[in-house]
Amino acid sequence: MLRQKLAVPLAGCLLAMACTEAIAAPNPYSNFIVFGDSLNDAGQFTDIGGPSGSTLRFTNRTGPLYRDGSGEVFSANSTQLLGGQLGFSADQTAASTSAARAGQGLPDGNNWAVGGYRTDQILTSITTASATGERARQGYLPSNGFRADPNALYYLSGGGNDFLQGRVQSAVQANAAADRLANSVQVLQTAGARYVMVWLLPDLGLTPAINGTPLQAGTSQLSAAFNRQLVTRLAGIDAEIIPLNVPLLLQETFADPARFGLATGQNLIGTCFSGNGCVENPLYGINSATPDPSKLVYNDAVHATESGQRLIADYAYSLLAAPWELTLLPEMAHATLRAHQDELRSQWQSDWEDWQAVGQWRAIVAGGGQHLDVDSQTSGASADGSGANVNIGGSYRLNEAWRVGVAAGFYRQNLEAGSNDSDYKLNSYLATAFAQFQHNRWWADAALTGGKLDYDNLKRKFDLGPGEGAEKGDTDGHLWAFSTRLGYDIAQPGSDWHLSPFISADYAKVEVDGYSENSNRSTALSFDDQKRDSKRLGAGLQGKYQITPQTQVFGEYAHEREYEDDTQKVNIALNSLPSLDFRLDGYAPQSHLNRVSLGISHKLTADLALRGGYTLRKDDDFTQQGINVGVALDF
């Protein structure tokens, strides 16, 4: 952002550890490409005061000395941290035109941001040429055949240097600068870019360079005007624009520094760590008895410390990661529905060739539990869930070949998702009407299920600097489903064993209502309605064996093909910026599913039976297990 003289020297790609903190986590993006000024510059300039071959970034050194000549490189900036979180390497997140890296034979990275760049220069770095003062090369689009990768994540910030270099002194000039930054986004979108993350300009009146001076009020007003125009322009660009409300995030930081692990009782707006162009903090500044940039927001007059860099990176990552978790809400409902259907089928299989007498009722009461394990995907978070349920119901035998019945179930499910174990809770109220047929070895069943979904506690959790952020909400939904099976028993009538191949068809529709998280913080989001259909065809084999007149065991295997396996998407907006909504990828249902169930039934009396069962459903990224125990009574 500021002129180079306000920068603190910085080094190439910070410790391999910080720049490559890539973890086995979702990443739906093919590349991570950055444009902007010193706030995003990953090391275009050589670090004169650092180790040989190191590059400069506009933040503090890694410590403990924090000084030129100490042998310490500069801390990673927010783009390097975010790139590492997304799984991109240090080479990929490095500067695009670093002479120091080129001298070592290292490849150019995908970060085109340059310290000191204004919005007009940012646009030029995309469309024509990029010059850092040490190296020059063609800009991003000329270097790539004037095509933008549609699957890459683009990241832009800018505007600060337009102010600091005296080019924004009126609302008209502020609007023009915002238009130039928006033009950069528009050019990328026209060339094919779909996913673009854009900073709103921080309130420059709340920086040590300007705070407390006669320029503060006017600069704050013009910063706000810049952002209003930028938001207006971005809303008209046909791309998934993911805004970072950095001004609001900083306001929250200054209002409650302890929440972010920062110093309390200190002037975090008017002081900095280095004393470069600003008042050095007396307690944590570089020349104090206890130097610690992690306790401060500003390293110099306008640039963030390592804590500020980490805070922005975590903030950005929380927005990208939200759909990876929230698209699991419909999957929770589908898992509940499958558990309910498995419980009914377990009861039906126990009753196979052993229905109650014609004109009689058979009541069932059963309870059970489930466990859900979801592996991470390209755009889906890993998750671990558990639940409990109770089902009641009954069947009535119409004649020798037909039986009909109803069942109702209550299910409570908890799901912990993502790296911070976000906590999502669902109460489901399900009701099913069913009919069964068995005659001359042929058998069939059909069931129609409806349900109400109550997501009564949705707590999304994420890293936010040294601490953890969280946003809460709740919503409702509903589902309905139809399932049917047809099979043929190859055993002779009256045999102690039965074995039957069958085919099946299932359809289910889940709708989760949109909702807004319960705050207006920078991290709070709103989500549109989500719908997830399931259409499955399957084939399987079920068997049963009568061990004694009172005891029988049964089991089933089925393989199902899912035809609604497209990656789920959800439309999102920041509560603080509702006009800039964006649609991102989430969970992708698997196309094939295997199901195995085992059970046992024991008659306590002629009319009363005790039953238990276990079911396993599994595909490449999904495992669901369930157990149930119940009783059946004829009357």
Q: Can you spell out the DSSP letters for 36-80?
A: -STTT--S-EE-TTSSTT-EE-SS-BSSSS-STTSSPPBPP-HHH
Are the C-beta atoms of 206 and 221 separated by less than 8 Å? no
Largest distance between two CA atoms of the chain: 98
Number of other residues whose CB lies within 10 A of the CB of residue 566: 10
Catalytically annotated residue among 38, 223, 350, 379: 38
| DSSP state at residue 301 | S
CA–CA distance, 337 with 445 (Å, rounded to integer): 17
| Element counts in the chain: helices (H) and strands (E) | 11, 26
Of 453, 472, 452, nearest to 462 by C-alpha is 472
- In terms of Cβ atoms closer than 10 Å to its own Cβ (0-12, 13-18, 19+), residue 390 is middle
Instruction: Please enumerate in sequence order all residues whose Cβ is within 8 A of that of 624, keeping only pairs 6 or more positions apart, or say none.
Output: 335, 338, 339, 370, 371, 372, 373, 615, 616, 617, 618
Alpha-carbon distance 374 to 56, whole Å?
A: 42
Task: Dig out the tokens for 479 from the structure.
Answer: 């589902």
Residue 533, burial from CB neighbour count under 10 angstroms (0-12, 13-18, 19+) = middle
DSSP string, 90-110: TTTTSBSS-HHHHHTTPPP-S
> What letter represents residue 592's amino acid?
H
**Strand order of the sheet with strand 195-199?**
32-35, 153-156, 195-199, 240-244
Tokens standing for residue 137? 């090369």
Catalytic residue flag (residue 170): no
Question: Residue 64, preceding bond cis, omega within 30 degrees?
Answer: yes
Q: Are 367 and 393 in contact (CB under 8 A)?
A: no
H/E stretch holding 547 reads none
C-alpha closest to that of 5 among 28, 38, 33: 38
Residue 558: how many other CB atoms lie within 10 Å: 21
**Sign of the CA dihedral running 375, 380, 382, 384:** negative
Query: Rounded distance, CA 8 to CA 72, Å?
Result: 12
* CA dihedral of residues 359, 441, 608, 371 (deg, nearest 10): -120
- H or E element that contains 487: strand 467-488
Pick the catalytic residue from 37, 303, 428, 483.
303
Out of 41, 300, 463, 489, pick the active-site residue.
300
Q: Please say if 300 is a catalytic residue.
A: yes
Is 45:56 a contact under the CB 8 Å cutoff? yes
Is 519 assigned a catalytic role? no
Contact residues for 499 (Cβ-Cβ < 8 A; gap 6+): 489, 490, 491, 541, 542, 543, 544
The residues that are catalytic are 38, 300, 303
